[in-house]
Amino acid sequence: MILLDVLNKNPDPIEKQKTPIWLMRQAGRYLPEYREVRKRAGSFLDLCYNPSLASEVTLQPIRRFDFDAAIIFSDILIVPHILGLSVTFVEGDGPKVETIYEDHDLSKLKVKEFKDSDKIKRVCEALELTRQNLDKTKALIGFAGSPWTVATYIISEKKHNFEFCRNFALNKRKLLSKLIEILTQQTIIYLKAQIDAGADVIQLFDSWSGVLSEDEFEAFVINPTKIIVSEIKKYSNVPIIGFPKGAGILYKKYVENVSVDAVSIDYFVPLNFAKEIQNSLVVQGNLDPLVMLSDKSLIEEKVGRIMSALSEKDFIFNLGHGIIKETPIENVEFLVDYVRNWKK
């Protein structure tokens, strides 16, 4: 498995010639075959909890583009949903999660029931099915949102209001800490279940880590993620990729303090800074997903810059954030070809 070889720093000289590639949100609305299954499944959550359809859409981008990894089709908001909060996805309006705003709202969370939830079993069944049908040379990625990012959807009303979230972190610190502690413990349970079901790699998405300043970043991003990573490391040797999107200079503090095996960098991270990070761990990233909407010469230029800077050392090619639904399929084919044929 070329992706695992890179993550485990496996010194195989032949495999080291190649850069593994997969794309965040690779299963999704830019694919006609996804849109077809999505229509059949009913709601987005129905699709997430339908093991055979979730597995089918997980495998679609592998069949089409031959990526080196499949990421299980699900969502970071599954954890609050399993905890008993209502979660809805309204097209064009983003997700809506039932709010926790006061101490007594914490009693809405069904913590004791979480571990044995039928919903976790369904996600695990999708992982098992996918692992059975996925080529042995491909890695299967399980994932969860990091507690801070999941909490931002729980504490703020329907639209993401970061002033509100930052204010909450400063002025409702105790309540936020309790919520984050619950999410941390349940996320550990959820990830262990995914590993038992066949996940070869785990990715932690912290999409909104970048809105916090240093103290709060340490309290609500670094500390809980550290706990998750160390508990998973005690449980298994499955490699973990951290994605503290938008962390800027705080990426350094993140990699120094959280023992992830790899860090996914967003498209704001300068390549020289990424090279520095690469001295201590594997880097994944970081093409701006908007480049994928352009013509092939721009894709070549931007991908070439990234490959020249990072492909000599331990590197996984990815986007700096999820693929956009307007992305032309032929551009994805072009990208995979270009990365595969890159001569180190």
Catalytic residues: 25, 29, 38, 75, 153
Q: Does 273 bind ligand CP3 (CB under 6 A)?
A: no
Question: Scanning residues 94 to 123, which ones bind ligand CP3 (CB under 6 A)?
Answer: 94-95
Q: Does 71 bind ligand CP3 (CB under 6 A)?
A: yes
Provide the minimum distance between the beta carbon of 36 and ligand CP3 in the complex, in angstroms, as a whole number.
Answer: 12
**Is the Cβ of residue 77 or residue 316 nearer to ligand CP3 in the bound state?**
77
Question: Scanning residues 136 to 155, which ones bind ligand CP3 (CB under 6 A)?
Answer: 143
Beta-carbon contacts of residue 275 (< 8 Å; ≥ 6 apart): 309, 310, 313
Cβ atoms of 277 and 291 closer than 8 Å:
no
Residue where the block lists tokens 């970071």: 76
Q: Which residues of 218-252 are buried (b: 16+ CB within 10 A; e: fewer)?
A: bbbbbbbbbbbbebbeeeeebbbbbbbbbbeebbe
Residue 285 bridge partners (DSSP): 317
Binding segment toward ligand CP3, per CB under 6 A, in 8-16, 24-32, 130-138, 161-169 = 24-32
Q: Does 268 bind ligand CP3 (CB under 6 A)?
A: no
Q: Does 24 bind ligand CP3 (CB under 6 A)?
A: yes
Q: Which secondary structure element, helix H or strand E, spans residue 274, and what is its range?
A: helix 271-278
315-319/282-287 β-pairing? parallel
Among 205, 217, 251, 317, binds ligand CP3 (CB under 6 A): 205
Q: Does 254 bind ligand CP3 (CB under 6 A)?
A: no
Q: Does 38 bind ligand CP3 (CB under 6 A)?
A: yes
Q: Does 73 bind ligand CP3 (CB under 6 A)?
A: yes
Count Cβ atoms below 10 Å from residue 137 Cβ, excluding itself: 11
Please give the structure tokens belonging to residue 117.
Answer: 């939830």
List alpha helices for 139-222, DSSP H: 147-155, 162-171, 173-196, 214-217
Q: Does 64 bind ligand CP3 (CB under 6 A)?
A: no
Please give the structure tokens belonging to residue 129.
Answer: 């099915």
**Is the Cβ of residue 110 or residue 325 nearer to ligand CP3 in the bound state?**
325
Q: How far apart are the first and last CA of the chain?
A: 19
Q: Does 88 bind ligand CP3 (CB under 6 A)?
A: no
Amino acid identity at 342: W
Q: Does 292 bind ligand CP3 (CB under 6 A)?
A: no
Return d(Cα 92, Cα 180) in angstroms, integer: 28
Provide the minimum distance between the beta carbon of 194 and ligand CP3 in the complex, in angstroms, as a whole number.
Answer: 12
Among 1, 25, 54, 193, binds ligand CP3 (CB under 6 A): 25
Q: Does 126 bind ligand CP3 (CB under 6 A)?
A: no
Q: Does 44 bind ligand CP3 (CB under 6 A)?
A: yes
Residue at shortest CB range from ligand CP3: 207
**Is the Cβ of residue 91 or residue 102 nearer to ligand CP3 in the bound state?**
91
Provide the minimum distance between the beta carbon of 195 and ligand CP3 in the complex, in angstroms, as a whole number.
Answer: 16
Among 3, 54, 59, 76, binds ligand CP3 (CB under 6 A): 76
**Is the Cβ of residue 193 or residue 309 nearer to ligand CP3 in the bound state?**
193
Question: How many residues contact ligand CP3, by CB under 6 A?
Answer: 22
Q: For residue 95, give the nearest of 107, 110, 78, 109 by alpha carbon.
A: 78
Q: Does 216 bind ligand CP3 (CB under 6 A)?
A: no
240-243/201-205 β-pairing? parallel
Distances (CA, A) of 296 to 25, 29, 31, 64, 292: 21, 21, 19, 19, 8
**Is the Cβ of residue 287 or residue 309 nearer to ligand CP3 in the bound state?**
287
Q: Point out which residues bind ligand CP3 (CB under 6 A).
A: 24-29, 38, 44, 71, 73-77, 89, 91, 94-95, 143, 205, 207, 322
